[in-house]
Amino acid sequence: MTAVLAWSTFLIAFWTLVPQTISIHRYRHEPEALRGVSMLSLSVIVVDYIGWSAYGILTAAWALWIPSVIGAVLTIVTVVSLLRVRSRRPSGAPGGPSRRGTATPTGEAQTPWEEQP
């Protein structure tokens, strides 16, 4: 019964990642479209899976640590994919995005979250 509960919980948690993973794949060439995917939530999920993996290993509960290790690996792959997409330069933008902001043609400073006229 413990194994069924552990795997069921893993599948529920795993399916929460599916929409974000699909978005990352669908918009892999459009980094701006992925601004809504939270790196913080993915990082918390990775830490959670690692914690449950460690607990399962220390208590010899294979039904707990096996799905947790699988979940950690899949979530890490999702995080790496998101980082790779976000590190790409948008098409048509020389130099790509900048965290410090840019200068407009008039010389005014512009931060990345301000829209250009």
Spatial distance between the Cα atoms of 114 and 109, rounded to a whole number of angstroms: 10
pLDDT at position 98 is 47
- pLDDT tens per residue across span 91-114: 555 555 544 444 455 555 555 555
pLDDT digits (tens, 9 = 90+) for 10-32: 888 888 888 888 888 888 888 88
Between 76 and 2, residue with greater pLDDT: 76
Q: How many CB atoms lie within 10 A of CB 22?
A: 10
In this predicted model, what pLDDT tens digit does every residue of 33-45 receive, in sequence order?
888 888 898 899 9
* pTM (global) more than 0.75: no
Spans of all domains in the chain:
13-22+39-88
Q: Supply the mean pLDDT for the chain.
A: 78
